[in-house]
Amino acid sequence: MNYSELTRRYFESAANVGELTGAGVFRGAAGSLEGGTWVQFDLQINGGAVSAARFLAFACPHTIAVSAWLAEQAVGQKVKALLPEGVPELRDRFAVPVEKTGRLLIIEDAWLAAAVPALEYRG
């Protein structure tokens, strides 16, 4: 499969991999190992903004690249119950084949599972 330059860059040097712990950390996961795509996001919230973000993924290069990019983009932003970009925009940005759109929806579900509870955090 041919991957875009952006996908290759974020897949080959994925930063923000791992887990966060402590006060103000919210974790969300979606997908399954059996299904071939599983993604987890950890968001550290301080003053209503994301101060750190990490991800773990069992997935294809597109999914890992998009997850790494999202974790990078989130830092310094106000926490919100939306991805920094919608699924169609992410699909275009990373040249994800339309048949892999379901994997982007798993990323979105994992993001929302972490971000929605974080909206209520007052730390």
Q: So where are the chain's domains? A: 5-118
Q: Could you tell me the pLDDT band of residue 108, with boundaries at 50, 70 and 90? A: very high
**Whether the predicted pLDDT of 120 surpasses 90:** no
The mean pLDDT value of the chain amounts to 95
Q: Identify the pLDDT of residue 122.
A: 79
**Whether the predicted pLDDT of 14 surpasses 80:** yes
**Torsion region of 86: left, alpha or beta (phi above 0 gives left; psi -120 to 50 gives alpha):** beta
More confident residue, 84 or 49: 49
Dump pLDDT digits (tens) for 43-72: 999 999 999 999 999 999 999 999 999 999
5-118 has which CATH code?
Answer: 3.90.1010.10
**Whether the predicted pLDDT of 81 surpasses 90:** no
Which of 113, 117, 121, 120 shows the shortest CA–CA distance to 28? 113
Return the bridge partners of 57, or none.
39
Q: Identify the pLDDT of residue 82.
A: 79
Distance CA 69, CA 104 (A): 13
The percentage of residues in the chain with a pLDDT greater than 90, rounded to a whole number, is: 89
